[in-house]
Structure 1
C-alpha cells in the first residue's frame, strides 16, 4: 500500500485519528474540509494508521452491501407483485457495486489524510499483545481481543518515536482501552516516555482540531480568490479530481452540437466521462482557517472556497451506448477548493449539473474558443 506524503520536513504537530472518529463521517461533512486545510500546511500532519484505513474501507463496503442487498430484495418483491414468471426476470437498474463505492471512499481517505504504514514489527507485536492480554488488547471471556487496537497503538507509538520533536494528538473514542480520566492511560503513557516521544490523547476529533486551528472570515477579496482558482496549478488539480471522481460514473451532462443559431446543449445521462478542459467562472462561500502559531512557527492561513466550473470533454450516451461513439459533452460542477500557502487541493464537489442561464452563454463561448474544430477535438 502507498503512503500519502504531504510533508517533507518534520511537522510540529501530528493529528492521528482512530477508526471510530471517522467511521460515521459522511462525504459531505465540513470536517473533511478542515482536515484538508490543516494538511495543506507544512507544520501539521493529519494521518491515520494503515490498520484504520483497512477497518474504514471494510466498514464502508459492508454498509453498502447491506443496503444494496436489501434494495435488491425489495425490488424483486415489488416486481413479483406486478409480473408473472412468464414476463421474464426482473432487471435490476444499473447501480454501482460495492467495489466502486469503496474505491471512492479510499480515494477520499488517501487524498485527505496521510496513511502511516503498518510495519511488520507492529503487526507481530500486536498479535503478541493480544495473546498476552496486554493493553490496549484485553481478555474477552476465555479468549482475547484487541490485536487491531494494538496495531493502531503501536503505529502511534512508532510515529512518536520517529518524530521526537512533534506533539502527537491521538483522537479515539475508545477511552476504555486507550485512556483514563480524559488522558492517556498510564501504561501507554510510560511507553511513550520510553520511546522519547510526546502523545496527547483526546476522545473527540473536534478537541484535536481545536488545538491547532480556528475558523474565521476570509481575508481575500473575491477577485483575489478567483485569480488563484484560475492559476494553472489549480486548474490541473480540479481536472485530476473530476477525472478520479467521475470517470466511471453515470453523470448528467450535455451533448454539444453546433446549429445555425450557435452552440446547443442536449442534456442526457452519460457514461465513460473524460474531461479535457475546464474554466473557473466564479467563486463563493469563502472561509479561512487560521492554523495556530507555535514556538517555531508564526502559523498559516488556509482559504476554502467554492469554485463554479465549466467542464468540457467527451462521453458516451448511457441510453444508446451500445455501439455508440464518444461525443463532445459539457456540464457545470461546483467544487470546494482548499488554498494553502504553497499548495492547492479539492476537498469535495457536488454532482455534475445543468448550466444556469447565466452560465450557458459562458459555456458556449468556452466551447467555441477551445480549438479550431471543437466538435472533433472532444470526440
Structure 2
C-alpha cells in the first residue's frame, strides 16, 4: 500500500497557493494576472481545503502559513465583499425603472413561455438578451407581445427589448479581433433611448463583452464602448448584460474609470447556474461563489439602486439578473 507523504503534498500545495496569491495581487499590472481574479472563488476553496488538511494532519506550522495565504487570497476582494454586504437604506423620490438581463445560451425552444414568464416577473421596463439565437429566438418571440419595441442590431444575438417606445436606437457592431483565439469575436451592443414619466431621456445599452484579455479583445470592446458612451448623458446612462468579468477582477475598475459609471451588481452568483453545474456533475457551492457573477448592471450617478437580485434558473448557464433603479428627482436634465 502506498502511504501518502503529507509533508510533501502540503508543502507543494502551499507553494502553489503562494503563487496564486501573488498573481491576484499583480492583477492591476497585467491582464494575464487578472485572469486569476476571475477564478477567485476556486482559490478560496483550494486554500480552505489545504487549511483543513494541514489542521487535520497536525501540521500546525504549515496550517499557520496556509491561514496567512488564505488571508492574502481574500484581501483583493475586500472591497467587493464589503459592497456585497452594504445596502442603501434611504432612497430619494423619483421615477423607477426595472431592468432584466439574461444570457440565454441559445436555450429556449419548448420552454420559451416558461422562460419568458421568469424574465417578466415584476414587469420590467426593459429586457437585455444575449445569445438570443437557436432556441433563444423562441424566447425573444415569446416576449414580443409584451415588449414590442426592440433594438437588436439587425436581429442579432444581443438585443434590448422595451415595453415603452424607443425615441431612437442604435448599434455598436461587433468584430473579429486580430491575434486572439480563432473563432472568437466581439459581440455587438444594442442601445435605445426612452423617455421617463417626467420627460427626462435615458439611454440603456445591452452588451455582451468577449472573454477577458489576453484570451480575447475585452479591452478593445471596453474602449469602443467608451467612445460610444461619449455621445450620451453619462449620469443617466445604464449599461447591462453579460460582461464575462467576475469580481474581484481588476477589469471592473477599468470599466468604472473609462465609462464614468458605477456597478450596481454585488454578491450575485449569476454564473454558473445550477443547470450548468448539474450538467457537469459539479456541486453547488453558494459561499465561495458569492463573487462569481459575470452578469452586471452599470449606471450613472443620477440613478440609485433600489434592489438587485438573481432570478430563477432558466436552463441557461447564466441566471437572469433583475435591477430596480430610481432616477433621482432633480437629476441633471
- Same fold? TM cut 0.5: no
TM-score (norm 2): 0.23
Q: Higher relative contact order at CA 8 Å, sep ≥6: structure 1 or structure 2?
A: 2
Alignment TM-score, normalising by the size of structure 1: 0.21
Higher strand share: 1
Greater C-alpha Rg: 1
